[in-house]
Structure formats: structure tokens, C-alpha cells
Amino acid sequence: GQQLNQSPQSMFIQEGEDVSMNCTSSSIFNTWLWYKQDPGEGPVLLIALYKAGELTSNGRLTAQFGITRKDSFLNISASIPSDVGIYFCAGHLSGSARQLTFGSGTQLTVLP
């Protein structure tokens, strides 16, 4: 199946620092979604992007739909302890019905 390369796999940061993570693919996507998963819970939708070049914020989170439509970025500003979790990107390929392709996740740890 299609692959989404998500990096980094894990991050250890100090509280208050900014965080960046990204997803790339060799395929063109028409939608990018970012989810967060807390331990023992299901993924929760953070941001949805539908246009190339689109920049969308949700509080301290900002995500961008890459111009080439092959990548997306998520930034978290001024991290806090509750940002800990796994962040997943997901993309929708044209012609793939309703199916999403998921990245393998970025595990974020925030140190006090």
C-alpha cells in the first residue's frame, strides 16, 4: 500500500520548547489530517487541511499542507506536559474511496 514517512519517530523536549514534525510521501494527497493519541485512548483529530499551501492553527498547534501536495508539517509552540502522546499524520489519495493512509506516528515526550 501507499506509504507515509513520518519523522521523527520520537522526540524528547523541554517544557516550553517548540516542536516540529512532518510527513512526506512520493504520492500526491488531496487531504492531510493530524491526530493525537493519548496512552490507552483512540486518536483525536487536531487539524484538517484541504488545500495545497493551506496553513491552519488550532491553539498552539499549526499545520501546513505542502505546496507539492506530497507533504505536511505540524508545529507545536511552547510545549506543555499535556502535549505528551503520539501524533499521527494521515492523508487521503484521490481515487482511494474514503480510505486514509496513516503515518507510523511521532512519540512526543515533554520533560519538566
Partner 1 sequence: NAGVTQTPKFRVLKTGQSMTLLCAQDMNHEYMYWYRQDPGMGLRLIHYSVGEGTTAKGEVPDGYNVSRLKKQNFLLGLESAAPSQTSVYFCASSYGATATYEQYFGPGTRLTVT
Q: Give the footprint of partner 1 on this chain (CB under 8 A).
A: 1, 4, 6, 31, 33, 35, 40-45, 48, 50, 88, 90, 92, 97-100, 102-105
Q: Rounded to an integer, what distance in angstroms lies between the CA atom of residue 99 and that of residue 91?
A: 9
Nearer to partner 1, 84 or 102 (CB): 102
Nearer to partner 1, 7 or 104 (CB): 104
3-class state of residue 81 by DSSP = helix
Query: Residue 7 Cβ, how far from partner 1 at the closest point, in Å?
Result: 13
Nearer to partner 1, 15 or 51 (CB): 51
Query: Residue 13 Cβ, how far from partner 1 at the closest point, in Å?
Result: 21
8 A C-beta contact, residue 47 and residue 67: no
Q: Rounded to an integer, what distance in angstroms lies between the CA atom of residue 7 and that of residue 81?
A: 21
DSSP bridge pairs for 7: 22
